[in-house]
Structure 1
């Protein structure tokens, strides 16, 4: 039996801009900090990790990889050799002066539950809750919130809900316990708006619909207090989605249209593409098929302008051709066009980066559901067998996958 290429690690190398030789050098550098002497990794080692010839690197290299790529081993596509290998030992040497706290965090990362390990990896407990808060502090907060949003497509909302809401409580404490000027206050409101939106999505993914509604509403309020127009557009988009999930389809359409009329939607093709895609789903579920088709075309037209836009913020990095195709599939499905929905979902999976494990699993389940609905049960079983849920935490996806298994068993 041949080895399976580690597509997730390959995608992470592209995302971080590492060559095989460059990653090996960085592993050796970080290994030197951890162990007191540089490692001996070479580009050949990296090729073997990517090819799948080595499915679980030695601890000497695996610990530095987690430090560099900021995620647990399974989220890098590695497969434990057994139960014992998934609980990594700590490095044998004491950390260098000034590095102890960070090193302890990284060591703890491997033996704690996912929520605690993400908190420690991102250093969320370092945010001050007393004293003077500066713009530099808020820039660090914004960076942590962005990294938290980026984790969503890799590990799912189940692992992030507790982390995001816990960090939200800490930022509220900072608001109440710190002193700061007007500019810092505005920037802090903007960061909290972003965090509320991410937490709302995590709540939705974890099956906490009531909390998702409250968090999306708070996101809009904080974005308005922070005069953050992009944050407001994001919050309106999420509120429209929440209304649709709750079955309030006409309200969802009104909110979505209002968001599309903002300056951010007119100027940023990514926001426009996301809003048009969600508007298409809203029209489809409301029974207005011609309007849904027009919205799909508008989303695709906005996608064609992505190259003219500045780099997206962390929360929008998931949006590309794959996601636009996947959202179009949802609209086609709502219109009863199952064959078109199946083709669009298959295209989404073909285009989706391997590192976006949560989104790949989501659309994999969607493809299997469509194949079941079309009566192609053998193909649905093949699709289900390919869905990778290792190190993924999403109650929403798990429930849908269980329903597909029941349908196939029946």
Structure 2
């Protein structure tokens, strides 16, 4: 059986960082473009391909794999059956279309444009089409700040990315409009990526990241490239890979945009500081946050910036990242300072951010021996966020465990237990 193993597929997966589960998910996303339906594949399906138990997948699956990898199916180690009907092989035109959709930058993702319906009249696309997509993007951003991390937000953002790509095939357009449509698709895909990161669905986030990076390259837009690579740094920070996080964040920080706009430079430095904190680089984190603060003070508030930047990055977000870094570094007094300052500056729509900040602040207070104060802080997190946001839920569970371990004789333990019980049995 070992002689039948699909070494070519295994090597491609290793080169591009795919597990069996993540490749299955990427193929499922691509199958939506090919067939209109989710593929239903899982890690066992990919393991069958690698082991050689399935040597020639179904037609739609082969097309999805070619779309993802940019390679002919045979170059991926799959072997045609002895008798293969002409319909099971891509036509020369189909192969050309798949080459046209090959993902740039060496990053695999599924970018498939849907064909117009037969006989439909092709229209001229314009910036008004882009503006309508931007309105939907603003809605996604607003929903993320209220709820964050939800599968529904990830799904809606993914669907809107597909709509932006489908629009490319629905009519003629100038290069400016086409670039803007790719930028819109990249923006939606990056929001899906962020929702997956926030919900701790890291395999899905990685899949979204690869497609978002490719779409951003096709758009040529610096701001969306910055957002995606900066998010990539955050993904690696949350998955315990600070060196990769710094490398990804450096891609964002080295874009020309950061030299034109100090606010982008500030965000890049603040996220670098958060990654350095996770990597236990105290001096590096302090230096980065100092530079981030200086860059923010230099930024011109009147400069035109994308909606996603205007909606979240300000002094409160800088302090939120500093809170995260100093908490990871064990500098709990400094972490508490940044937590209080963040909460005092947070805008009302930042519901998710407020919950995360209060939870981190509670951890910093507990680590300083203030069990009652920490418990009171944690109890201010709304029940809906505490139970439905994966990241907040996990951090509050960790808070409860730390409270029981460090202040077992405190009345705060009972207070917290009774409070948590109300989440399960609301009045």
**TM-score in terms of structure 2 length:** 0.62
5 Å-filtered alignment, 1:102-181, equals 131-132=122-123, 133-158=125-150, 159-181=152-174
Within 5 Å, give how 1:54-73 maps onto structure 2: none
- Asked whether the 8 Å contact 2:154–2:195 carries over to 1, the reply is yes
- 1:308 is displaced (CA, Å) by 4.4
Specify whether residues 258 and 182 from structure 1 end up closer, same or farther in structure 2 by C-alpha distance, changes over 3 A only: closer
Q: Does 1:351 align with 2:345?
A: yes
Q: Which residue of 1 aligns with 2:240?
A: 247
SS in 2 for 1:386: coil
Q: Deviations over 1:108-156 (max 9, x none)?
A: xxxxxxxxxxxxxxxxxxxx99743332112211221123113211222
- Higher RCO (Cα < 8 Å, 6 or more apart): 1
Which has the larger displacement, 223-232 or 307-316? 307-316
**How far apart are 1:177 and its partner, in Å?**
5.0
User: Aligned to 1:287, what secondary structure does the other structure show?
Assistant: coil
SS at match of 2:312: coil
Matching residue within 264, 269, 275 for 2:262: 269
2:378 is the alignment partner of 1:369: no
Partner of 1:325: 319
Shift of 1:374: 2.3
Q: Which runs of 4+ in 1 moved over 4 A?
A: 128-131, 176-179
Tell me the CA shift for residue 255 of structure 1. 2.4
- The answer to whether the Cα contact below 8 Å between 1:161 and 1:206 also exists between their aligned partners in 2 is no
The alpha-carbon distance between structure 1 residues 384 and 153, as it changes in their structure 2 partners (threshold 3 A), is: same
CA contact (8 A) 2:164 2:184 kept: no
Any gaps of 5 or more consecutive residues in structure 1? 1-127
1:272-292 Cα shifts (integer Å, max 9, x gaps): 111101111222333332222
Displacement of 1:389 after TM fit?
4.3
How many angstroms does 1:324 deviate by?
A: 0.6
Larger radius of gyration: 2
Unpaired segments of 5 or more residues in structure 2?
Answer: 1-115, 406-427
Report how many aligned residue pairs link the two structures. Answer: 283
Is the CA contact (8 Å cut-off) linking 1:207 and 1:396 kept in structure 2? Answer: yes
Partner of 1:19: none
Q: CA deviation at 1:311?
A: 4.3
Question: Relative to structure 1, is the Cα distance of residues 391 and 279 closer, same or farther in structure 2, using a 3 angstrom cutoff?
Answer: closer
Decide whether aligned partners of structure 1 residues 359 and 287 sit closer, same or farther in structure 2, where only a CA change above 3 A counts: closer
Which range is displaced more, 143-152 or 169-178? 169-178
Which stretch has the larger CA shift, 193-202 or 280-289?
Answer: 280-289
**What secondary structure, in the 3-state scheme, does the structure 2 residue paired with 1:157 have?**
coil
1:1-400 equivalence runs, <5 A: 131-132=122-123, 133-158=125-150, 159-316=152-309, 317-390=311-384, 393-400=388-395
Conserved? CA contact 2:323–2:360, under 8 Å: no
Could you tell me how far 1:205 is from its partner in structure 2?
A: 1.7
Q: What are the Cα deviations for residues 336-395 of structure 1, in whole angstroms up to 9, with x where unaligned?
A: 211111111121111112221111011111111222222211111111221124478522
How far residue 192 of structure 1 moved from its aligned partner, in angstroms, is 0.8
